[in-house]
Structure 1
Amino acid sequence: MIGVGIVGLGLAVKPHALALRDLEAAGRLRVVGGFAPSGDRRAAFAAAWGWPVFGRVDALLAAPGLDLVLVLTPPRTHLPLAEQAFAAGADVLVEKPVEWDAARAQALVEAAARAGRRAAVVFQHRFRPAAQRLKAALDDGALGEILSASASIRWWRDDAYFATPGRGMLARDGGGVLLTQAIHSIDLLLHLAGPVASVTGFARTSGLRAIDTEDIAAAALRFANGAIGAIDATTVARPGFPERIEIAGTRGSAVLAAERLDLHIVGRAPEVIDHGSAGGGGADPMAFDHGPHRAMIAEVIDAIAQRRVPVNDAATGLPVQRLIEAWLRSAQTGVPQSP
């Protein structure tokens, strides 16, 4: 049985804990315990979930039977924590983004390879049933050649969200709406439509919050497969709306709004998969079903048991970080950039 530990017991822990509880009840894994520097967070975690807590990260990493560490801490801490976990003989699953910037993310991937360990990344939107159906249709060629692929992420985050010290600041998060919020949908767009060859980007800070990162951004994209598209991302769209991905091909089109898919393929009846379209776009960023987290963690523990690379290997999280960095370079220079 796979033993799982959690490092970081803040905002991101709830969907992971719900998923772990389900998988533990099903006999798929055992939760070894959790660590956070804050005593209050450790106490709240223990009271909410009933799992052990550790006062030091090295004590958790030394716990018997630890196979996988969930790293749910701010991005700049991912690399050193992953290296500690690798040294302890454990694999890691890191919250998005893989690290603070693409260079450090690449270093984490390389550290895992040197240690002979697995490193996976939390991009749970790939595991939503509607997204998986769309991915299968694209892989099968049911929509034909992709001509247009775009995303719109018009979310809202309130003052309480930005009250966490350092949130929205470059030093802590590495970026704003692109790297911290919209990255899930941008990653899914790349997962579905393929890599981007060129991006022309715009970005600005609204002034609604005391942050030094962008909370409004837009870009025009040229994909490597010849398709073109656009991305619009913000956290100033009160009260927050379901994120959308729209793809048009030579044989059909699709609209994915959070967990609802409308699929139109030439010669077939329209297909709808509706698991809800609320997402986490409003003031409560955790207002979504934890089922995709459960499926994602299950994939990682299956990969460990089967001695293979998980489909959400950390290396697959590098393209979206490189695209975001190219986007912001374009916004600064006023010229298109290649990721």
Structure 2
Amino acid sequence: MAKPPAQKRVGVGLIGAGMIAKTHVAALSGLQSVAQLRTIVSRNPERALYLADHYDGAAPEFSADLTAVAADPSISMVIVATPPSVRKDVIAELAKAGKHILLEKPVARTPEEALEVVEICEREGVMLGVLFQHRMRETSIAAARHVAGGMLGKLGVVEIAVPLWRDQSYYDELGRGTYARDGGGVMITNAIHSIDLALSMTGPVTRVQAMTATSPLHRMEAEDFATAGLRFANGAVGSFVASTAMYPHRTEVIRLHFENGSMRLDKDTLEISWRDGRTEHQGKDDSTHAVKPLSGGTHEWHQAVIADFIDAIRVGCKPTVTGRQALVSQQLIAAIEASSQTGLPVDLAV
């Protein structure tokens, strides 16, 4: 039997050369068989040249010309890693040129702006995926499998805790922690990963009662602390707390309490405590290991998201997290903010 013809590598453009760019470049280095990084776009290309040292393939071009990327027929997909404040116009130009778009979270600064981005891509017929790489952790995949299997039974209580630390220098970067550039503070920039991961297993929230604040430990416009009571569409109730003012920096934890057992999921471990006394454990044995702020995990999680997106392009299926699916997390964040402002519960449409 004749072998099927080998598929050509997908040409990739990277838009944005900020803090996360090195992770993307390292991830693409591990995907040489299916992807080729062709161009990195930065406002200051000279400052981005160091990224070539983190790429194992032929050195990409460095440019400030987004239009050239849009016109390049060798580039099929782009990873957009710019601040949220400048994304919509970037995405509109790339989508009009037929480029599939993999987007760093969040989709945009507000749910309304995010919906515009989603509709732009749907109108132009291009795929829009979102980099929620926490879903690709080994323990996250195992947790989702347990939940989907149904043996845990009905979900009753949810705990989402994001106890992070960021030094003031983190917020001294121009625009960070502002509504104009980022769309908010700890929720939309940091905790959105845990929110997305939790909601992927619990289903949507229908009501929130919340409080947000800027603690005395930071000088910033948006919140560095948020807490909320949650009611879910499936009848479960829960709590959410997130902050970048909790020292020392600790890992995010999601706890799901079902009728037949409880699940604890963090960055490296999954533990299930069954009601009959059994305990299942997956991941690192020592869950008290030190966690460094801004470590961002490993590039393998990003690599898995990029590989999934490339497969979706080739097969014509949906990526793990589509732009429209990502709207749910932003809508919940907006509801928490609204409840904090009014002091009243906020209902969300399902």
TM-score scaled by length of structure 1: 0.94
Cα drift, residue 287 of structure 1: 4.3
Pick from 37, 45, 52 the counterpart of residue 46 of structure 1: 52
Contact 1:9 1:36 in 2 (8 A): yes
Please state whether the residue corresponding to 1:175 is helix, strand or coil.
Answer: coil
Contact 2:45 2:62 in 1 (8 A): no
Cα drift, residue 208 of structure 1: 2.6
- Note if 1:12 corresponds to 2:28: no
Cα drift, residue 41 of structure 1: 2.8
State the alpha-carbon separation in 2 of the partners of residues 247 and 14 from structure 1.
34
Please state whether the residue corresponding to 1:79 is helix, strand or coil.
Answer: helix
- Note if 1:273 corresponds to 2:282: yes
- Name segments (4+ residues, structure 1) moved above 6 Å: 278-281
State the alpha-carbon separation in 2 of the partners of residues 281 and 218 from structure 1.
22
State the alpha-carbon separation in 2 of the partners of residues 281 and 106 from structure 1.
35
Cα drift, residue 251 of structure 1: 1.1
State the alpha-carbon separation in 1 of the partners of residues 332 and 153 from structure 2.
25
State the percentage of identical aligned residues.
Answer: 34
Q: Could you tell me which amino acid in structure 2 is paired with residue 88 of structure 1?
A: A
Cα drift, residue 209 of structure 1: 2.6
Partner of 1:168: 177
* Bigger mean CA deviation after superposition, 68-77 or 263-272: 263-272
Q: Could you tell me which amino acid in structure 1 is paired with residue 34 of structure 2?
A: R
Contact 1:122 1:312 in 2 (8 A): yes
State the alpha-carbon separation in 2 of the partners of residues 142 and 177 from structure 1.
34
State the alpha-carbon separation in 2 of the partners of residues 317 and 53 from structure 1.
30
* Bigger mean CA deviation after superposition, 205-214 or 217-226: 205-214
State the alpha-carbon separation in 1 of the partners of residues 282 and 19 from structure 2.
29
Contact 1:259 1:279 in 2 (8 A): no
Cα drift, residue 42 of structure 1: 2.3
Pick from 114, 120, 126 the counterpart of residue 123 of structure 2: 114
Pick from 316, 320, 333 the counterpart of residue 324 of structure 1: 333
State the alpha-carbon separation in 1 of the partners of residues 77 and 271 from structure 2.
36
State the alpha-carbon separation in 2 of the partners of residues 86 and 68 from structure 1.
10
Partner of 2:84: 75
- Note if 1:209 corresponds to 2:218: yes
Q: Could you tell me which amino acid in structure 2 is paired with residue 152 of structure 1?
A: A
CA displacement, residues 186-234 of structure 1 (integer Å, 9 cap, x when unaligned)? 1111111110010001000013333110001100000000000101100
State the alpha-carbon separation in 2 of the partners of residues 135 and 145 from structure 1.
14
TM-score scaled by length of structure 2: 0.91
Partner of 2:41: 35
Cα drift, residue 159 of structure 1: 2.6
Partner of 1:93: 102
Cα drift, residue 292 of structure 1: 1.4
Structure 2 runs not aligned, ≥5 long: 1-8
Contact 1:2 1:29 in 2 (8 A): yes
State the alpha-carbon separation in 2 of the partners of residues 55 and 246 from structure 1.
44
Contact 1:279 1:287 in 2 (8 A): no
Please state whether the residue corresponding to 2:159 is helix, strand or coil.
Answer: strand
State the alpha-carbon separation in 1 of the partners of residues 54 and 297 from structure 2.
19
Partner of 1:128: 137
Cα drift, residue 239 of structure 1: 2.3
Q: Could you tell me which amino acid in structure 2 is paired with residue 81 of structure 1?
A: V
User: What count of residue pairs does the alignment treat as equivalent?
Assistant: 336
Q: Could you tell me which amino acid in structure 2 is paired with residue 336 of structure 1?
A: P
- Note if 1:22 corresponds to 2:33: no
Cα drift, residue 278 of structure 1: 8.2
Cα drift, residue 64 of structure 1: 3.4
